[in-house]
Amino acid sequence: MSKLDTSYTEFFVECDEILQRISSLLTKSEIHDLDQENIDSLYRDIHTLKGSAQLFGFRTIGLIAHGIEATLEPVRQKKVQLDRTFIDFIFKCLDLIDKILKNPERDLEREPALHNEVVVALPQLVTLAVKKFGGEFEFFKDALPDESSNHFLTKIIEKTQDLFEDNISSSVEMDISEKEISPIKLVPQEIKIENVAKRINTMEKPVVEEASSESSTIRVQVSLLDKLMNLVGEMVLTRNQVLQFAKTSEDNEFLGLTQRLDLATTELQDSVMRTRMQPIGSIFSKFQRVVRDLSRDLGKSIDLVISGAETELDKSLIEAIKDPLTHIIRNSCDHGLETPAVRKSLGKPEEGSLSLRAFHEGGQVIIEVKDDGKGIDPQKIKEKAIEKRIISPERANSMSDKEAQELVFAAGFSTAEQISAVSGRGVGMDVVRNNIEKVGGVIELHSTAGTGTTLRLKIPLTLAIVPVMVIRSKNDYYAIPQMKLQELLRVDMEEDVNKVEKLQGQDVYRLRGKLLPLISCEEVMHPETIKTAKTIYNIVVLEGENHPYGLVVDEICDKADIVVKPLPAFLKKVAMFSGATIMGDGTVALIVDTQGVAGAVKAPHSGDGKKSKIPPISGNSASFIETTEFLFFRLSHAGIFAIPLVLVQRLEEFPQTDVDYSGEEMIVKYRESLLPLISLNAYFGYKSDPKEACIDKTTVSVVVVSKNNRLFGLVVDEVVDILTSTSDITPHIKETRGLLGTVIAMDKKVITIVDTYSIIDESMGVPVKKLSRSLKKARVLFAEDTIFFVRQVTKVLEKAGLEVVHAPDGVEALKILKKSGQNYFDFVISDIEMPNMNGFQLASSIRAEANFKDIPIIALTTRFSEMDQKKGKDAGFNKYLEKLKSDELLEAIDKVMGDR
């Protein structure tokens, strides 16, 4: 029904437009002659009118239009000139068409007067025209080849013929009695019109009336609306300023006026916004066709139910969501709904149901696409994701079903087993999500395997005016879009049971049993500020890229509707802001880009911010984890920490009395030399004084680690255990001194990993090797299978300014190298012991490629015997280095790069 309405409404609107265009053209022609272009466009319009009228069953209109078209033909061919009498006749014809269109019944049977008019006027027109312009009557007759049974139309034709033959050119008397055009005769051909009329009359909205009251709509340039919108934006701002000012005033009259201004402005804003609004039905109706075609192509039976087509959205937003929505619907039809046979076997109705619903909710428009198909099977998604290297098998195991389903939004994901013609053409759900987010929207997925999938798009009503929450940090005010805001929290450190806790210097808060990482707005905006403890935390919970996070602000001020002003391009580099706006007091406030803020605090070494051209295997994507063994130890009150076991040389207990001090440095005699001791408690600044901790006991627990052939002792309070963890090291949101990240131990506890080498370097006062001055911006391919070394080396290299692409083994490394072409990588670093293809094989394979026979290759290994070194040289390695000697590595890189 809705489709029918829309189609007819469109037809009427189109007719109106055409009639208007023709009228204005003809009026113009009365002043001066029309040029060929005008006549062509006139002809085209009439032709279109004829076509669509006949298509929609308005035969009379079709005939009239045909009449005009026929008579215009000689004019178009420049055989004759348009003259005044002729134009008058066209006008009369147009009037006839207009009358038929405006007649609510559109049923000539009930309008004898109109009917008669047509029967009289049309033959006149045609006769006149044909007479005047010569012998084209056949052309007119041709219009109705099989209309012999239509008495009404035949009558017209006959009449015309008579007129034509009688040579009568004017004032033809009407001689058809009303009897002759009795309803019965008309019914067979006019039945359609009658039906239409009935249907139209049953419509909720009297569309017909709308069409008949001429001035109900006007067409306006979108640019004018845009300008209007901007002006209203300015006005809203001024209103806000006035209101702000009114707060300080005690003048009652003034207050009254501001209130009225406030109301009027709000209403004006609302109305102007509505001028840009369009019912979403304008795109919904297109989906009928899409779904019909798809169901035919796919051999599926799909019932599309549309509701809320009248829901209105800003025009630009409608344009913006059209493609993503089409994609979602295609996906549902293609991947979601099963074939009838499958559905039958599952006990579902053979006809799949797809519902498309739009409605308002909380100042947003929600568009819901729901199917009752097979849903998203988390297991299948995981398998696919592992196969596509989007996640690691370990990560997949620890994923919840919901998380797994969200993987469909990951870049480079497509679930269709076979790429069909319908979907799976490279544009995936990631693009859909991007496009929705671009207009400030949000996309949510709910799916139950077996019973169906629901996708919800939350779209803001309009782009120009955005509801925000204003927050204060120090003396600066920022605006946060309400769309991205989940909730507001206030945590009183003295009174609340649930407090902000520290996870290795990072604030976290338990929000309904889940850890919510906190980001201090002040620290993000002004990294140089010194952290201060707070008693009250005002937290704005925001949507991050994947997880929510809490932004700690000094004050949550107020809600406001703001007008977004774009930032100049060169400020877009500061990714934390999406725009600016002018506040009530006239000052400028920045609009926070919630994802940008989350991105800004990410640890630089996590590599997430760096773009690699081979996304799934990029940087230390943390995807290729193996079980790593960790040594767990306790540090006074701070809890359990861990060191990767690969770094640990030995565990020692020294009698307290053996510990000596050389200056500030703690040392102990160990294996014929002195072992420098580093107290981790002291390093991290934990309360318990190292000396006190030592005094308590008679012995000191020391973890002996080696770095660059030197041994160092890390003093801990107690060595707890050695445990294996399958989980990957999660880097901290923010880079913290001395810490590498966290890992989940067997008992699900979160353990913090200490960054052994940085601690040693820092404690020993070793300056960070700054080779970056001589290291050109280079790209390195790094083949290594152990995740710990991947992370360690990547960190060293990235610190030195190199771009690192990681490969989990030799086979993969070779693949990446070949794929990326000759000059993409500047050099290769490879482990020796790797699965599938070891370092020696990799090196010789690279050398065998003509493109890469000169690329520097550096071996990084624990196999460091002389024989191994020789073997390495033979295989084609330029340098052969022992693992975990970052200084030597950087030096070697410097050298091989310099040699090139």
* Residues engaged in binding other proteins (CB under 8 A): 234, 237-238, 476, 524-527, 565, 567-571, 574, 576-577, 580, 582, 586-590, 600
Pairing state of beta strands 577-582 and 588-592?
Answer: antiparallel
> Which residue's CB is nearer to other proteins, number 466 or number 739?
466
> Which residue's CB is nearer to other proteins, number 16 or number 554?
554
Q: Minimum distance between the CB of residue 576 and other proteins, rounded to whole angstroms?
A: 7
Q: Minimum distance between the CB of residue 363 and other proteins, rounded to whole angstroms?
A: 24
> Which residue's CB is nearer to other proteins, number 589 or number 790?
589
Q: Minimum distance between the CB of residue 582 and other proteins, rounded to whole angstroms?
A: 5
Q: Minimum distance between the CB of residue 588 and other proteins, rounded to whole angstroms?
A: 4
Q: Minimum distance between the CB of residue 734 and other proteins, rounded to whole angstroms?
A: 15
Q: Minimum distance between the CB of residue 465 and other proteins, rounded to whole angstroms?
A: 14
> Which residue's CB is nearer to other proteins, number 396 or number 542?
542
> Which residue's CB is nearer to other proteins, number 234 or number 496?
234
> Which residue's CB is nearer to other proteins, number 161 or number 238?
238
How far apart are alpha carbons 499 and 492 in whole angstroms?
7
> Which residue's CB is nearer to other proteins, number 337 or number 469?
469
Q: Minimum distance between the CB of residue 467 and other proteins, rounded to whole angstroms?
A: 20
DSSP letter assigned to residue 568: P
Q: CB under 8 Å to 19, separation ≥6 — which residues?
A: 49, 94, 97, 98, 101
> Which residue's CB is nearer to other proteins, number 365 or number 563?
563
Give the CA distances from residue 583 to residues 254, 270, 467, 555, 586, in Å, rounded to whole numbers and listed in that order.
Answer: 21, 19, 13, 16, 5
**DSSP codes joined into one string, 547-559:** SEEEEEESEEEEE
> Which residue's CB is nearer to other proteins, number 459 or number 589?
589
**Residue 195 main-chain phi, psi, to 5 deg:** -55, -50
Q: Minimum distance between the CB of residue 869 and other proteins, rounded to whole angstroms?
A: 47
**Residue 297 main-chain phi, psi, to 5 deg:** -65, -35
Q: Minimum distance between the CB of residue 583 and other proteins, rounded to whole angstroms?
A: 9
Q: Minimum distance between the CB of residue 270 and other proteins, rounded to whole angstroms?
A: 20
How far apart are alpha carbons 634 and 8 in whole angstroms?
78
Q: Minimum distance between the CB of residue 542 and other proteins, rounded to whole angstroms?
A: 17
Q: Minimum distance between the CB of residue 480 and other proteins, rounded to whole angstroms?
A: 15
How far apart are alpha carbons 124 and 172 in whole angstroms?
7
> Which residue's CB is nearer to other proteins, number 265 or number 447?
265
Cβ density class 47-60: b for 16+ within 10 Å, e for less: bebbebbbebbbbb
The SS3 assignment for 581 reads: strand
| Distance linking the first and last C-alpha atoms of the chain | 74
How far apart are alpha carbons 602 and 623 in whole angstroms?
18
* Beta strands across the sheet bearing 577-582: 555-563, 465-473, 476-481, 588-592, 577-582
Q: Minimum distance between the CB of residue 864 and other proteins, rounded to whole angstroms?
A: 45
Q: CB under 8 Å to 20, separation ≥6 — which residues?
A: none
CB–CB of 404/381 below 8 Å?
yes
Q: Minimum distance between the CB of residue 775 and other proteins, rounded to whole angstroms?
A: 23
> Which residue's CB is nearer to other proteins, number 568 or number 685?
568
How far apart are alpha carbons 311 and 476 in whole angstroms?
38
CA max distance for the chain: 136
Determine what percent of the chain falls in helix, strand and coil, rounding each to the nearest 5. Answer: 45, 25, 30
* CA-angle at 706, arms to 701 and 712, nearest 5°: 45
> Which residue's CB is nearer to other proteins, number 268 or number 600?
600
> Which residue's CB is nearer to other proteins, number 238 or number 772?
238
Q: Minimum distance between the CB of residue 573 and other proteins, rounded to whole angstroms?
A: 8
> Which residue's CB is nearer to other proteins, number 96 or number 524?
524
Q: Minimum distance between the CB of residue 563 and other proteins, rounded to whole angstroms?
A: 9
How many residues are listed for the chain in this entry? 900
Give the CA distances from residue 88 to residues 48, 245, 745, in Å, rounded to whole numbers and listed in that order.
Answer: 21, 63, 91
CB–CB of 108/61 below 8 Å?
no
* CA-angle at 520, arms to 519 and 525, nearest 5°: 110
> Which residue's CB is nearer to other proteins, number 145 or number 568?
568
> Which residue's CB is nearer to other proteins, number 347 or number 527?
527
Q: Is 21 left (phi over 0), alpha (psi -120 to 50) or beta?
A: alpha
Q: Compute CA 691 distance to the chain's CA centroid, rounded to the nearest angstrom.
A: 56
> Which residue's CB is nearer to other proteins, number 233 or number 452?
233
The number of beta carbons lying within 10 Å of the beta carbon of residue 636 is: 18
The type of residue at 692 is: E
* Beta strands across the sheet bearing 857-861: 803-807, 779-783, 827-830, 857-861, 879-882
Q: Minimum distance between the CB of residue 274 and other proteins, rounded to whole angstroms?
A: 23
Question: Which residues face 542 on adjacent strands?
Answer: 485, 549
* CA-angle at 668, arms to 663 and 670, nearest 5°: 140
Q: Minimum distance between the CB of residue 483 and other proteins, rounded to whole angstroms?
A: 22
> Which residue's CB is nearer to other proteins, number 35 or number 528?
528
The type of residue at 95 is: D
Alpha helices in 77-142, H assignment, sequence order: 84-102, 112-133, 137-142
Beta strands in 717-837 (DSSP E): 718-725, 739-744, 750-754, 779-783, 803-807, 827-830
